[in-house]
Amino acid sequence: MNSPPVSELTANAHARRDQGEHDVFVRRLNALYPLQPHESKALETLVDASYAVLPHHDILHEQQPSKEALVLLEGLACHYKVLDSARRQMTGFVLPGDFCDFGFLSSSATRQGVMALGPTLVGRIDLRQLSAVGDKMPNILLAAMRAASVDQACARELVISLGARDALQRLAHFLCEMYHRLRIVGLVGAGAQFELAMTQAELGEALGLSTVHINRTIQQLRKQKLITMSQGLVTILDAAGREAAASFDPRYLRPN
């Protein structure tokens, strides 16, 4: 169930396509800004082609002008930048239902690479179609702008983590964010369990910590009975405790 081989995943995706693979995306935008039924329907038809991207492959390259809007339908992806020194820093996360990049809103080029972390499924939206629909249904554009606004808030929150929180708080905060964001799109299972397709090394690149230290910090969280975490499956044992440990305030994820 966790991290299936890509072929299988794509097969699943195809099988479920008709029942609404694009559903996540519509659900997400609805949560950002309540849409009318006909708007939701129009939105669904906009996502006209979806394709799989393999782990550790780029969904979008740096400096790539946006000819279309890309939406993540399944899996996990991240914004990142490679530094001079073979070092890499992640700067944001793309979850199912999220736009991969907001360059399309201002016809800007993609500023950073977007990379699949686990196996992912990406949907494509033609910009001409989008702006045509957007003219008639401004709520859709408004929802997209709110998505951008939440994205910005996440980036600023990451700045706070890296600038002012220690390792334990950073990791706890990160897990809180993932939990809340995944829950919005219904990807948190019973017992507050969710999939997180990231290695400890990748967590390090996200949180500005070494792999070794990430490992030790995870053990601390385990010892404190706050989480369970192995091979991409995370379980929240004590949500309140963990949010307190991270001084997590989910308001920044709210759209309005």
The residues binding DNA (CB under 7 A) are: 166-168, 199-201, 208-213, 215-216, 218-219, 230-231
Q: Does 131 bind a second copy (CB under 8 A)?
A: no
Contact 193, 76 (CB under 8 A): no
Report the residue from 83, 86, 190, 240 that binds a second copy according to the rule CB under 8 A: 83
Question: What letter represents residue 182's amino acid?
Answer: L
Report the residue from 142, 167, 168, 185 that binds a second copy according to the rule CB under 8 A: 142
- Minimum distance, C-beta of residue 125 to DNA, in the bound complex (Å): 31
> Of the two residues 134 and 208, which places its CB atom closer to DNA in the complex?
208
Query: Which stretch, 158-166, 182-190, 194-202, 233-241, contacts a second copy (CB under 8 A)?
Result: 158-166
- Minimum distance, C-beta of residue 84 to a second copy, in the bound complex (Å): 5
Contact 251, 238 (CB under 8 A): no
> Of the two residues 128 and 251, which places its CB atom closer to a second copy in the complex?
251
Q: Does 145 bind a second copy (CB under 8 A)?
A: yes
121 binds, among DNA, a second copy, none (CB under 5 to 8 A by kind): none
